[in-house]
Chains A and B, each alone.
Chain A
Amino acid sequence: MKAIFYRALKRIRPSMAAYDQALLWCVILLLTIGLVMVYSASIAMAEVDKDTGFRSTYFLIRHSIFLVVGVVAAFFSFSISTRTLQQYAPLLFILGVLLLILVLVPGIGREVNGSRRWLGLVVINLQPSELMKLAAAFYAADYTVRKAAFMGGDFWASITKGLLPMLFVMLIVGGLLLLEPDFGAFAVITAITMGLLFLGGFNWRLFAGLIVLLGIGFVGLIASSPYRRARVLGFLDPWQDPYGKGYQLSHSLIAFGRGEWHGVGLGASVEKLSYLPEAHTDFLMAIIAEEFGFLGVAVVVGLFAFLVFRCFMIGVQAAKLDRAYQALVAQGIGIWIGVQSVINIGVNMGLLPTKGLTLPLLSFGGSGIVANLLALGVVMRIDYENRQLMRGRKV
């Protein structure tokens, strides 16, 4: 009797897939929106730019190439066992630090708009800070697992053996990033490492105190550099100097305002007509908001929220299976995508100072999108392994 019932149930409910289909479709949807919007946002600008050879499809073609590279990269990272990843996590992290040093070497690193963020390779420009975010997630997860004994235990031990080594490493990485300067990447990497320490069971009272300290540190950093201070002041009231410091932000806000509920329609944005700088990269969200209105904003924000939620749930599943490292990596990547998209959209909406962070999966930008897809390939792998384990198979 019971057997018949189960058999019938199995007919109704197909067996569990081998991978997370919802997550996959969410990513594909975001990439598609990104491709369409990068083209829409760049078309007018590319058409009149000498550097693009006056080709309107310049950015569309490049973005498509990056997507293909990114998808290949995702398959690659999906095919690597998470145990291998864990094994190489410290090595990857050291490689990332080396690249961050390399980017600061004149002649190797390329300077754009006063920041040294790019390594000029033969074909594409590599942005080490993007890969560093992934390496940081791997390393912090590995670190937390290794230092498990000091996470929730004795107060002094958790400071000296749990926190200080990480703080030391972060000082090096953070220092290198601020030398570029790449404040946005610094903020994201700090969020990933701190987040993983917290999720790993780090004494929460100590953690709360640390957050306060970090907050003070941030304020200090902002106050110390005129470059950063100017950017911060510009965001507080863009209408104070709408043709100077507040130019980009005021145009971004105007784009939001023009969108209303449904937007002006795909392709009908006025802000992208050379008014809003960086419309296809950092300020892609403003163009989405103008062309698709609040509806478009809600869809994109919703997709990101879902993506982040899935990452965390995969992490929870892994934790249930006693795979703490995999759990933390998935959640670290979730924090990365979540924090970076929140910061980018927040910047677009005038809630945060302009940082130079792209919108994950959507914005034009080679290294960024490849790094995002690499990371999501890892998340898919963790989920895949979870499912295999739940079916009683080995990974």
Chain B
Amino acid sequence: MNRMIPPTQARKRYSQQLKLERWRVWFVIAGLLGLFAILLGRGLWLQVFNEEFLQGQGEARYARTLRLEANRGMITDRNGEPLAISTPVQSIWASPRSIALLPAGQTRPDDWEPESDKDPVPLSQDEVAKLARALGMPAADVVKKLGDPRRTNKGEVIKDKEGKPSRPDFVWLRRQMNPQDAKNVLALNIPGVYAQAEYRRYYPAGEIMAQIIGYTNIDGHGQEGLELARDKLLSGQTGSRTVIRDRRGYIVEDISTIVPPKDGETLALSIDRRIQYLAYRELNKAVSDFDAAGGSIVVLDARTGEILALANSPSYNPNSRAPIDPSKKRNRAITDLYEPGSTLKPLTIAAAMQAGTINAKTTFNTSPGALSMGGFTIKDTHNYGVLTPEGILVHSSNIGALKVALTMPRETQWNMLNAVGIGQRPGLGFPGESSGKLRPFKTWYPIEQGTMGYGYGLSVSLMQMAKAYQIFATDGIEHPVSLIKQPAPMPGKQVISPELAQTIRGYLEKVTQPGGTATRAQVVGYRVAGKTGTARKQSGGNYADKKYVGSFVGLAPVSNPRLIVAVMIDEPDIKKSIYGGAVAAPVFSSVVAGTLRLLGIPPDAPTNNILLPSPQDTKEDEAWVP
């Protein structure tokens, strides 16, 4: 056999015959080296020319942009006292898709291993019970949350490709736990259960400031009040961090510079928490004393137009997540409109005196206490006879105010109301801020011009009334009002002359003295001035029976006014009292007394100046009945 030939012999035989041609070797070498060259070319293309696309694809697969939450800014009062703060909390969430609940009695084997990434981890009932205990929830709730399939908006169960109910990747187990409790939950080491750091908003002032501050929802977005109006400023800017993660989710490296989160700014309000507390307490007391439907109070710094206190009743606790009655959420002092009634009379007098159509000595005959005009009868409580402008205010004569109004052109009266901000939004930037209703003067009939003279036929918010009274407190200057602390007073505009302002202030002081309608507004040690109002409420275009708004707008101290306080009590119980002088003036008195003391303002009437009239002498202004 051929194969058995000894090697030496074989070599000789073959090699004599086989001639290896050199060109074939070079041909094959050239071919192989050519292939290597192609590889190099391809490598160059992939790595140097197409790398952008490939790296993009890579990043799409393992780069993740993580959100870095910004801390929501704090809201403080004018002295830096916190009114809304964010505290770190932990929210526990689970991925139901990666968990399979075992029937009772079964446990996960110690050596259990997933066969693929998507295999759910079996979870024994025992573990679920432990988890529920740590979460402080009934075990049944936890089981339900972990077991519920995904649903469409209509509540239908979403099914996966195999027709089995699809399970969600994410479900909150419990939001906003305190960090220690959350740590205990995580310490159980239950697969598929994770924690997310969040911030919880806390309102130390609670219901006292509820309508001003508002609140955020559980995700930290402003829902009401300033939390909503200044959401952008408070929430800051979330930062981001782009990282590469390995397939198991661990962060390997940062691939771009970290954009740090920009924390929200601190919002310092003009509110003084102490005054706010006082105002809310006194208002709440009055509302409950008179069984009123509600009430509001505004305290303005007369020199700057800043709002020192703004309280509403009834209120709610913004720290509670329980559903809130929408009527409690309203910032009534800013959003709710009412007919100001007699509190508007000083503006009518001021307009006429400024225009020169009347002076301090002009007299008006209000006899016999009733006046028919354009089919309406306007009445006063008593027959006051002949009254000067001062008398009209002191006695709150409707007929007098109507006559004063009719001395001037419609435009003059409108200009005054417009100049003090009636019919315009106060510009607080607050959601739902009302502009009130002041019709263009060209549409006014004479009877309307007259009724507007004593505060009917137009509507205002309590904030607008407080703002309007600035001209009497500041020698005629009107400042823009503000809820935010101002580094310096905003420029105001001169509306009436200082002399006229002082004159009217004098009249208004008389209102609080015996013979006036607001003796209960007096404060020990200080001279105060103001005007009561009692207005019948409109409902559905008609004046409602037995529904009144009692209000008082005043200022103090008269010698050098620092405060403007407007109080409104909505629908006081008719059996108790409806008059502004009875329901609202006492609130004014206690708030002014407390506030002046808090601010350390020296008394301008150091001797005991309280002069109370005898009960039968008490004057009440009349609610107008059409």
Q: Which residues of A contact B15 (CB under 8 A)?
A: 145, 322-325
Q: How many residues of A contact B (CB 8 A)?
A: 69
CA distance A349 to B47 in the complex (A): 10
Q: Which residues of B contact A169 (CB under 8 A)?
A: none
Contact A270 B246 (CB under 8 A): yes
Contact B40 A297 (CB under 8 A): yes
CB-nearest residue of chain A relative to B36? A305
CA distance A350 to B20 in the complex (A): 36
Q: Which residues of B contact A324 (CB under 8 A)?
A: 14-15, 18, 20
User: Which positions 171-209 of chain A face chain B at CB distance < 8 Å?
Assistant: 195, 198-201, 204
Q: Which residues of B contact A74 (CB under 8 A)?
A: none
Contact B20 A200 (CB under 8 A): yes
Given known pairs A50-B113, A323-B11, the reply for A304 and B3 (CB within 8 Å) is: no
B48 beta carbon closer than 8 Å to chain A:
yes
Q: Which residues of A contact B3 (CB under 8 A)?
A: 90
Given known pairs A199-B28, A201-B18, A342-B39, the reply for A294 and B246 (CB within 8 Å) is: no
Q: Which residues of A contact B219 (CB under 8 A)?
A: none
Contact B28 A198 (CB under 8 A): yes
CA distance A129 to B261 in the complex (A): 59
Binds A, one of B49-57, B151-159, B452-460: B49-57
A140 beta carbon closer than 8 Å to chain B:
no
Q: What sequence of 0s and 1s flags, for each residue 589-608 of chain B, a beta carbon within 8 Å of any chain A beta carbon?
A: 00000000000000000000
Contact A304 B36 (CB under 8 A): yes
Contact A275 B62 (CB under 8 A): yes
CA distance A70 to B42 in the complex (A): 32
Q: What sequence of 0s and 1s flags, for each residue 128-144 of chain A, a beta carbon within 8 Å of any chain B beta carbon?
A: 00000000000000001
A69 beta carbon closer than 8 Å to chain B:
no
User: Which positions 204-247 of chain B face chain A at CB distance < 8 Å?
Assistant: 244, 246-247
A356 beta carbon closer than 8 Å to chain B:
no
User: Which positions 288-328 of chain A face chain B at CB distance < 8 Å?
Assistant: 289, 293-294, 297-298, 301, 304-305, 308-309, 312, 315-316, 319, 322-325, 327-328
A113 beta carbon closer than 8 Å to chain B:
no
Given known pairs A83-B8, A270-B244, the reply for A199 and B17 (CB within 8 Å) is: no
B33 beta carbon closer than 8 Å to chain A:
yes
A331 beta carbon closer than 8 Å to chain B:
yes
Q: How many residues of B contact A (CB 8 A)?
A: 47
A62 beta carbon closer than 8 Å to chain B:
no
A254 beta carbon closer than 8 Å to chain B:
yes
Given known pairs A151-B18, A346-B39, the reply for A254 and B25 (CB within 8 Å) is: no
User: Which positions 40-81 of chain A face chain B at CB distance < 8 Å?
Assistant: 44, 48, 50
Rounded to whole Å, the gap between the CB of B418 and the closest CB of chain A is: 68
Contact B28 A351 (CB under 8 A): no
Contact B47 A293 (CB under 8 A): yes
Of residues A144, A200, A254, which shows the largest number of chain B Cβ atoms within 10 Å of its Cβ? A254
Q: Which residues of A contact B44 (CB under 8 A)?
A: 294
CB-nearest residue of chain B relative to A238? B57
Q: Which residues of B contact A312 (CB under 8 A)?
A: 25, 28-29
CA distance A239 to B60 in the complex (A): 13
Contact A145 B53 (CB under 8 A): no
CA distance A255 to B54 in the complex (A): 8
Rounded to whole Å, the gap between the CB of A256 and the closest CB of chain B is: 4
B38 beta carbon closer than 8 Å to chain A:
yes
B24 beta carbon closer than 8 Å to chain A:
yes
Contact B47 A325 (CB under 8 A): no
Contact A270 B57 (CB under 8 A): no
Contact B39 A316 (CB under 8 A): no
Rounded to whole Å, the gap between the CB of B54 and the closest CB of chain A is: 2
Q: Which residues of A contact B32 (CB under 8 A)?
A: 305, 308, 334-335, 338-339, 342
Pick the contact of B20: A259, A261, A327, A346 (CB < 8 A): A327
Given known pairs A275-B61, A301-B36, A308-B32, the reply for A294 and B20 (CB within 8 Å) is: no
CB-nearest residue of chain A relative to B250? A273
Contact B58 A149 (CB under 8 A): no
Q: Which residues of A contact B10 (CB under 8 A)?
A: 86-87
Contact A258 B39 (CB under 8 A): no
CA distance A273 to B39 in the complex (A): 25
CA distance A279 to B353 in the complex (A): 95
Rounded to whole Å, the gap between the CB of B2 and the closest CB of chain A is: 7
Of residues B15, B47, B58, which shows the largest number of chain A Cβ atoms within 10 Å of its Cβ? B47
Given known pairs A254-B54, A256-B54, A270-B246, the reply for A294 and B24 (CB within 8 Å) is: no
Pick the contact of A274: B21, B40, B58, B246 (CB < 8 A): B246
Q: Which residues of B contact A323 (CB under 8 A)?
A: 11, 15
CB-nearest residue of chain A relative to B3? A90
Q: What sequence of 0s and 1s flags, for each residue 126-157 of chain B, a beta carbon within 8 Å of any chain A beta carbon?
A: 00000000000000000000000000000000
CA distance A48 to B48 in the complex (A): 33
Rounded to whole Å, the gap between the CB of B27 and the closest CB of chain A is: 8
A260 beta carbon closer than 8 Å to chain B:
yes
Rounded to whole Å, the gap between the CB of A132 and the closest CB of chain B is: 20
Contact A325 B24 (CB under 8 A): no
Contact B18 A270 (CB under 8 A): no
Contact B58 A254 (CB under 8 A): yes
Contact A349 B43 (CB under 8 A): yes
CA distance A87 to B3 in the complex (A): 7
Q: Which residues of A contact B252 (CB under 8 A)?
A: 270, 273
Contact B55 A257 (CB under 8 A): yes
Given known pairs A84-B7, A199-B25, the reply for A261 and B48 (CB within 8 Å) is: yes
B361 beta carbon closer than 8 Å to chain A:
no
Q: Which residues of B contact A346 (CB under 8 A)?
A: 35, 39, 42
A244 beta carbon closer than 8 Å to chain B:
no
B321 beta carbon closer than 8 Å to chain A:
no
CA distance A349 to B43 in the complex (A): 7
Contact A294 B25 (CB under 8 A): no
A217 beta carbon closer than 8 Å to chain B:
no
B360 beta carbon closer than 8 Å to chain A:
no
Contact B17 A256 (CB under 8 A): no
CA distance A276 to B361 in the complex (A): 99
Pick the contact of A148: B14, B22, B40, B62 (CB < 8 A): B14
CA distance A259 to B55 in the complex (A): 9
CA distance A120 to B236 in the complex (A): 64
Contact A201 B58 (CB under 8 A): no
Rounded to whole Å, the gap between the CB of B252 and the closest CB of chain A is: 6
B575 beta carbon closer than 8 Å to chain A:
no
CA distance A244 to B28 in the complex (A): 38
A229 beta carbon closer than 8 Å to chain B:
no
Contact A349 B113 (CB under 8 A): no
Pick the contact of B248: A83, A257, A274, A309 (CB < 8 A): A274
CB-nearest residue of chain B relative to A294? B47
A33 beta carbon closer than 8 Å to chain B:
no
Q: What sequence of 0s and 1s flags, for each residue 266-278 of chain A, a beta carbon within 8 Å of any chain B beta carbon?
A: 0000110111000
Given known pairs A198-B24, A254-B57, A342-B36, the reply for A83 and B48 (CB within 8 Å) is: no
Rounded to whole Å, the gap between the CB of A136 and the closest CB of chain B is: 16
A329 beta carbon closer than 8 Å to chain B:
no
CA distance A325 to B20 in the complex (A): 10
CA distance A293 to B53 in the complex (A): 16
Contact B43 A301 (CB under 8 A): yes
Contact B25 A315 (CB under 8 A): yes
Contact B61 A86 (CB under 8 A): no
Could you write out 22 A-B pairs with CB less than 8 Å apart? A48-B248, A84-B7, A87-B7, A195-B28, A200-B18, A201-B21, A250-B57, A257-B58, A258-B51, A275-B246, A297-B39, A297-B43, A298-B40, A312-B25, A312-B29, A316-B25, A325-B11, A327-B20, A328-B20, A349-B39, A349-B43, A349-B46
Q: Which residues of B contact A (CB under 8 A)?
A: 2-3, 7-8, 10-11, 14-15, 17-22, 24-25, 28-29, 32-33, 35-36, 38-40, 42-44, 46-48, 50-55, 57-58, 61-62, 113, 244, 246-248, 252
Closest 3 CB pairs of A and B: A257-B54, A273-B246, A148-B18
Given A199-B24, A201-B18, A308-B33, 18 more contacts at CB 8 Å? A86-B10, A145-B18, A195-B28, A200-B18, A201-B20, A254-B61, A255-B58, A257-B57, A258-B55, A261-B48, A270-B244, A294-B44, A316-B22, A323-B15, A328-B20, A334-B32, A335-B32, A342-B36
